[in-house]
Structure 1
Amino acid sequence: MASFDGRYAFIADWYDTNAALTRKYQLFYYPKDSTVEMFDIKNKRVFLKRSKCEELRLHDLHIGAVVNIHSRQLTIKDYADISTSNRLKSKNEKTFAMVKPDAINEVGTIIDIIYQNGFSICNMKSAVLSRQEAEEFYEEHVGKPFFNNLISFITSGPVLAMELMAENSVTLWRSLLGPTDSRDARTNKPSTIRARFGFDNTKNACHGSDSDRSANREIDFFFKANAERRTTARVSNSTLCIIKPHSVKEGVAGKILKNIQDNGFYLNALEMFHLEIINAEEFFEVYKGVVHEYNKMVDELCSGPCIAIEIFGEGDVHKTFRDFVGPSDPEIAKHLRPHTLRANFGVDKVRNAVHCTDLPDDAALEVEYFFHILKQ
């Protein structure tokens, strides 16, 4: 089925839990009126008549994306025709970015720079690399004079790996990074990331792929299904924060992370998740029958990518962080606690910017759920 002006066509998979099999569809999106329709490829019939899906944007539709269509979670596997591929492929170019150990305390600011420059973050994961993993990642530098120092540095602390998407993303990200040597960057490109947050030629804040080929290899290294990297989560003396999908879509996740860091909290582990409805229901089960907004909370949590964060801090971090997040209703927060996260970034009781652990006894359980159980 050929695409015509104003319609985009994709191949999408949906895992049918009842039948325990993956179903394949053609998904058509009409940006003019935010409508979608679906065609069942195997059975050769219309599966979903053209209908409104106002929360879906063209920007959300790219290869590898996970989207929700009327409570069904679909994974975009490919473009369905040449027209769609030609119109979107260059706009949806991906690259790999990594925040190095020397700049991990500037993660919020760096992520905000990423969003402010038109990137989408498709994937995110903090990790600690072993020497063997680091040598594999930097294999093209084996034998170079700086190799041992580079490996020692990159394994000295946590890193944050990200899959970025934008038009000409490889070139754009490297331009934002600036010269490899941070000292050179401060002289010649003072507004770049390496000039602002790096120290020298090795401790230079961030890594960026130098080509499409490198980007594909490096993205697979961290995010391919079997690419398990050691988590930075401690699951003790910590609490959980989730940046909700609406905040991620609005591009304010970096600002939220910076706000958290500026107020003395340490981001011990970060990872982007695309929750299925069953996972969101399981996670929010304690609110079922207790909180009136339960169903809407579930819908929001699985409506797009969210970012889970293990928060570490001094003293009773659970209570301190919960106070910092503020009342669940942003309108109340604006009046009573105007400096809290929900007052500054929340919209309503459901889209209230972030989730935080409510009960102290649940903190370890919630961290464990995201950083260990969901991976199984």
Structure 2
Amino acid sequence: MADDARFAFIVEWYEELAARTRTFQFFYYSGSKSIEMFDIKTRKMFLKTNISASPIELQDLYIGASINVLGRQLKIVDFGDEFTKRKLMSKLERTLGYVMPNSLDKLGEIIHAIYDRGLLISKLRLCKVEHNDAYRLHEEDNKQSAMNINAITSGPIVAFELVGENAVQRWQELVGPTDPSVARSEAASSLRARFGKDLLHNAVHCSGSPSAAARELEYFFPSCSKATFTNCALGCNTTLCLIKPHAIKAGLAGKIIMAIQDGGFSFNTIQMFHMEKANVEEFLEVYKGVLHEYPGMVSELASGPVIAMEIISKSTDNVAEAFREFCGPMDPEIARHIRPRTLRASFGVNKVQNAVHCTDLPEDASLEA
């Protein structure tokens, strides 16, 4: 590729004030990381900028991705030209994976392994699959259909979309053979070798082919309608944790979830999503006029995907307070001196990019969660 190759996409932006969706040509220059946007209807330039403070990387740009440009949440809906399609199609293959009910306590380790392999998690959610849907999901797998259906419907699972070059094959290799006993002899470092117990409890699922991946992704992350999965949220003696965009982009989400699980906490529900700037401003309004970092806090949460978790714990009657202590002081530098084992001490960069947001006031826990 040229040093400043131009990649073209079609993006959509929902303009709240006008209550309309606008479509743009979006040009990204890989060398300078600069951006140009043209309104497709008027053919006039809408925006030209160099996002040097929070650079968008080429790997962030794929069909279905949401990116934030100067407070505008853009959704990439198509390639903009044949050059971009030809260059990026194989590099941006998508596939589906999910963690089985019996292995949710290993979710952090599994996510860390995914990032370590160089794959990107673009979507993630906890859900409960019903029997009828499970039959449809495994219609191509006649031999183990009943076994898979019993496993997938025995409790909540965490499903995710993975993006990367040859993602289907690379995810299959990371997962390993279907039978964990075979995996331990043939692929000892695979996820099923490490976390699987038997054929029924083999830790994780991977799509068998690109066509299967497309079908399964449409079920878990439908393109045209909202999914109707059972809501697993409790809302009683729970609290909220948001893994911030900078930590996700740095590949730290798995390590943070591992630390949370090792710290005696778990989650009742978990989901990756993007927050519009207006929603972030409302969510963080309690800090407006109180913390001078407020504008930066808003920009950070709106800059990319967040992972939200409803945190629970069996070891305390006040989860909100216990988890706030576990997160540590807002300033990671202070945390590293007085609370070195906290999340912000371990994974934070500064007061704005401090790895996680947690509920500060116990009375707000049920509202945020």
TM-score (norm. length: structure 2): 0.95
Q: State the Cα deviation string for residues 89-120 of structure 1 (Å, max 9, x = none).
A: 11111100000012111000000000000011
Residue 191 in structure 1 maps to residue 189 in structure 2: yes
Q: 1:50 to 1:361 in 2, by over 3 A?
A: closer
1:328 aligned residue: 330
Deviations 1:259-302 (A, max 9, x none): 11011111221100100011111111111222211111111101
| 8 Å contact kept, 2:139–2:145 | no
Distance 1:43 1:254 in 2: 44
The whole-number CA distance in structure 1 between the counterparts of 2:67 and 2:227 is: 23
Matches within 5 A, 1:203-218: 203-218=201-216
Q: Which amino acid aligns with 1:15?
A: Y
2:41 alignment counterpart: 42
Superposed, which structure 2 residues align to 1:189-338 within 5 Å? 189-224=187-222, 225-313=225-313, 314-315=315-316, 316-338=318-340
Moved more, 112-121 or 293-302: 293-302
Alignment-derived partner of residue 67 in structure 1: 67
1:24 lines up with 2:61 in the alignment: no
Aligned to 1:366: 368
**Aligned partner of residue 139 in structure 1, secondary structure:** coil
Deviations 1:238-260 (A, max 9, x none): 11100000000000000000011
- CA change 1:342–1:182 in 2 (3 A) is same
d(CA) in 2 for partners of 1:163 and 1:180?
Answer: 20
In the aligned structure 2, how far is the partner of 1:340 from the partner of 1:51?
35
Which segments of 5 or more consecutive residues in structure 1 lack a partner in the other structure? Answer: 368-376
Structure 1 residue 51 displacement after superposition? 3.6
Letter in 2 for 1:101: P
Shift of 1:5: 6.4
Once the two structures are TM-superposed, the CA of residue 334 in structure 1 deviates from its matched residue by 0.4
Q: Give the secondary structure class of the aligned counterpart of 1:132.
A: helix
The residue type equivalent to 1:140 in the other structure is E
Contact 1:95 1:165 in 2 (8 A): yes
- Displacement of 1:50 after TM fit? 4.7
Unaligned runs of 5+ in 2: none
Whether the 8 Å contact between 2:4 and 2:30 is mirrored in structure 1 is no
Question: Closer, same or farther in 2 for the Cα pair 1:149/1:287, shift >3 Å?
Answer: same
Partner SS for 1:280: helix
Are the counterparts in 1 of residues 11 and 77 from structure 2 also a CA contact under 8 Å? yes
SS in 2 for 1:324: helix
Match of 1:355 among 349, 354, 357: 357
Comparing 275-284 with 125-134, greater Cα deviation is found at 125-134
The structural deviation recorded for 1:352 is 0.3
Q: Partners in 1 of 2:196 and 2:62 — Cα distance?
A: 32
In the other structure, the counterpart of 2:149 is 151
Q: Structure 1 CA distance, aligned partners of 2:132 and 2:321?
A: 39
C-alpha displacement of 1:229? 1.3
User: Contact 2:34–2:48 at 8 Å: present in 1 too?
Assistant: no
Q: Name 2:178's counterpart in structure 1.
A: 180
Q: Distance in 2 between matches of 1:33 and 1:5?
A: 6
Matches within 5 A, 1:135-174: 135-141=135-141, 144=143, 146-174=144-172
Give the match for residue 373 of structure 1.
none
Q: What SS class does the counterpart of residue 292 from structure 2 fall into?
A: coil
| Aligned counterpart, 1:91 | 91
Q: Is the 8 A contact 1:126 1:231 kept in 2?
A: no
In the TM superposition, what is the alpha-carbon distance from 1:232 to its structure 2 partner?
Answer: 2.3
Amino acid at match of 2:86: N
| Matching residue's letter, 1:106 | K
User: What is the count of residue pairs matched by the alignment?
Assistant: 363
What are the Cα deviations for residues 36-71 of structure 1, in whole angstroms up to 9, with x where unaligned? 111111001111235445421111111111111111
CA contact (8 A) 1:102 1:198 kept: no
Give the letter for the 2:79 counterpart.
Answer: Y
1:112 maps to amino acid: H
Q: Which amino acid aligns with 1:6?
A: A
Contact 1:95-1:209 at 8 Å conserved across structures: yes
- In 1, the alpha carbon distance for the partners of 2:123 and 2:157 equals 14
Whole-angstrom CA distance in 1 between matches of 2:151 and 2:25:
47
What displacement does 1:139 show? 2.4
State the TM-score, normalizing by the size of structure 1. Answer: 0.94
* Alignment check: 8 A CA contact 2:32 2:50 kept: no
The 1-side partners of 2:20 and 2:3 are apart by: 31
| C-alpha contact 2:4 2:31 (8 A) present in aligned 1 | no
CA distance in 1, matches of 2:51, 2:113: 33
